[in-house]
Amino acid sequence: MLDRIECSAVRGVLVCLGSLASSPVWSATSAQPTEASDSAPQAALTEVIVTATKRSESVQEVPLSITVLNGEALERAGMVDFKDYAVHVPNLAFSYMDFFGPTAQSIAIRGVQGANTTGMYLDETPLPENMDPRAIDLARIEVLRGPQGTLYGAESMGGTVRLITRQPSTSGFEANVHNALSYTDHGGTNDALDGVLNLPLSQSAALRFVAFADRISGIYDRLPSPDAPTQFAARDHVDRSHHEGGSLAGLFNFGDNQLTVTPRFIFERSAADGKPYADVIPGNFKQYRLFDIAEPSRDDWNLGTLTLRWRTPVGDITSATSYFSRSGFANEDFSAAADLTFGLPSTPALIIDQLHFTATSEELRFSSSFHGPFQLTSGLFYQSSIQHFATPDTPFGPFDNLFSQATRTEITESALFTEATYDLTPQLRLLAGARAFDNKVRYVATLAGIATNPGTFSGEQTGKGVNPKYSLEYSVNPDVKVYTTAAKGFRVGGINAYPDAVCATDLAALHINTSATKTYNSDTLWSYEVGIKSDSFAHKLRLNAAAYHIDWSGLQQLLQLPTCGFNLTVNSGKARSDGAELELDALAAPGLNLSIGAGYENARIIDSGLVTAIPAGARVQQIPRFNLTSNVDYEAQILGHGFFAHVDVAYISSSISTNNSLATPLIRGAYALTNARIGQHIGNADVALFADNLFNRMANLGDPQPEGIALPGRPRLATNRPLTVGLDVRIKF
């Protein structure tokens, strides 16, 4: 019989418009660690209960391709941020952009790439896709592949990443403290400290506290370039960063657990002294500049949530309310690009971006527990967000202001969603669902400065529609399921802001009517998937696989207008993505757990439309063809002591950068990263030595586009960290 682990539900949708334990099993799909280190060896892979369809089901029962990364396995592997765990998810690709700080990632699942194509959630709360909460005190991470437009709405046309925290528990006192000390090649010492306290107040109430802080050494040095006006002193490790944060959550049960109230407050503060970007190649740790200009950034966010769950004889009624706020800034030195553009003597130039974002969401849903073959999940969703993005006056040489802007974007989404299942026979289940949505975007922008066309521009865009989903699941036997799914995905449209008269010539040359480019609509896709989920050898081997075909139309693409200098987003062209993923977990021997994951994506443009810079037949940018991951965990009693070891390897094939031209395409090279840990259980403590990026490979994780003008011949590359070795201690009480 399988062990059973219950997991909590999460929900939420966010649309951001931009112009811009012991036997630790790494779980690619479902394996979990067993209990204490002195317990008997695992007899079977552990069943994982997920709520991807808003009800508790085994991940093996859900007709959907899902990767689950267990929280304890994340801790054992030392993974704390997005790039740590993202490389271990088949057919998840990512890159880094320079929007609001250096840790803003862009996520693509199954080749569906671009802003607002992947959902990011923390418990019941929607988050912007470009956020990276620290992976502290997580129960698990779920990655749902394929469009999730029925239950999850707009920003999930490619898939959804869900971070699920551990909840307060009334079952007993719990506390742990974790400290990691390390040293990074080309950098210095790093320190991370976090702690968790679960405090039962009674049989029906509990509190959970989490706090963390880390200091990360810089690896890049700023030096004067040969043509610098003044040869300033070199500055070492200019990209130092730190993070602090925590949470307070409560659990209150009423009426013999009939009503559960869960309030939570989470906050995080992040700051960096400079940009962690390499010039030209990933292994270059020298940033040669004209001037000694710092490029600090800051990202602060707060999240308050209130979840109510009322259990009735026919199902659960859940209300999830959240308020999210985020603010910060990012500085960028663009002196070299400004000199090149204006032909003036070398002059310091600094541009500053500021952001303030708020979002309020509410979802009220019902999940049935009827007796019989029919089950239903249905609800209402509403969200309102406001984003202020500003660039203050940018002085340069004799000019008081090269460029400044102030934009305000308001997005509201209302939706009614339903998903139902019916057991046609004991082996055959039918699923059908739909989401009716009504979205509205309002935008106003004020531009000023000699490098732009000053003025105030505004607009409004609305979108309504219905997103359907259909699935059929067949149980070959209790341990083997096959399924097929067809689902539609979409993302919210938006507004273009530009001066009609100035851009009229460019638009006429493209045979575009001015009125047709004031707004752009949602783009949509249809995804078709077939899959199998299986357990064998008395649940010691688990093999899940899926293949898919995606047709994507009306792409939201960026169209450059060469004369007036504005960029427009237009609905133009088509894309197609075909691929497959496979995940295997095995208990190969007592104490030895193996997992392998593989993804293949053939994402390409089949109709370039107006954006001729990316011709038909070209690969979708930022999407690698292959990614492979493998993990080995071993635990054994040696001379009466519990020892454990962990090794994980991730391989990502090459991809095409978004900062590209047909004449000189930029290729992000393939890379492989290896991490290793070995440790011992000592009483209630786990002590481990670790080496992250064991073979010291540097990878191009993205080519961030500068806020100013990209300097020819000097692309900036977001990279991983060099070899880092250290000591990790976790004590549980």
* Predicted local confidence at residue 100, as pLDDT: 62
Looking at residue 73, its pLDDT comes to 87
| Confidence (pLDDT) at 363 | 95
Q: How many residues does the chain have?
A: 733
* 380 found inside a domain: no
Domain for residue 704, yes or no? yes
Task: Please count the structural domains in the chain.
Answer: 1
CATH number at residue 555: 2.40.170.20
pLDDT 10s digits, 510-535: 888 777 788 999 999 999 999 999 99
Tell me: the pLDDT tens digits for 25-81?
A: 344 343 333 333 444 556 788 888 787 888 888 899 999 999 999 898 899 899 999
Q: Taking a C-beta distance cutoff of 8 angstroms, is the pair 185, 722 a contact?
A: yes
Q: Where is 644: in which H helix or E strand?
A: strand 641-652
How far is it, in rounded angstroms, from Cα 494 to Cα 410?
A: 10
Q: What is the pLDDT of residue 98?
A: 62
What residue type is assigned to position 503 of the chain? C
**What is the domain extent for residue 449?**
4-370+388-573+582-685+693-732
Phi, psi of 77 (to 5 degrees): -85, -5
User: Residue type at 617?
Assistant: G
10-residue mean pLDDT series, the chain (733 residues): 34 30 36 40 78 85 93 90 94 80 81 91 89 93 94 88 94 96 97 97 97 97 94 95 97 93 97 93 94 95 97 96 96 86 85 95 96 95 96 92 94 96 96 95 94 88 93 96 96 87 84 83 95 94 97 90 82 95 94 96 92 82 95 90 94 84 71 96 94 97 78 85 97 94
**CA-to-CA separations, 209 to 75, 177, 196, 248, 250, in angstroms, rounded:** 18, 12, 6, 5, 9
Question: Does residue 111 lie in a domain region?
Answer: yes
- Residue 326's H or E segment, with its range, is strand 315-333
Q: Is residue 306 part of a domain?
A: yes
In a domain? residue 495: yes
- For the whole model, what pTM was predicted? 0.91
Q: Is residue 552 part of a domain?
A: yes
Do residues 242 and 213 lie in contact, with contact meaning Cβ atoms separated by under 8 Å? yes
pLDDT at 34: 36
- For 97, 523, 544, 613, the CA distances from 493, given in Å and listed in that order, are 21, 8, 35, 22
User: What pLDDT sits at residue 29?
Assistant: 40
Q: Are 497 and 458 in contact (CB under 8 A)?
A: yes
376 within some domain = no
Non-local CB neighbours of 155 within 8 Å, separated by 6+ positions: 13, 14, 15, 16, 116, 117, 118, 119, 120, 126, 129, 491, 492
Residue 377 lies in a domain: no
Strand 685-692 vs strand 724-732: parallel, antiparallel, or unpaired? antiparallel
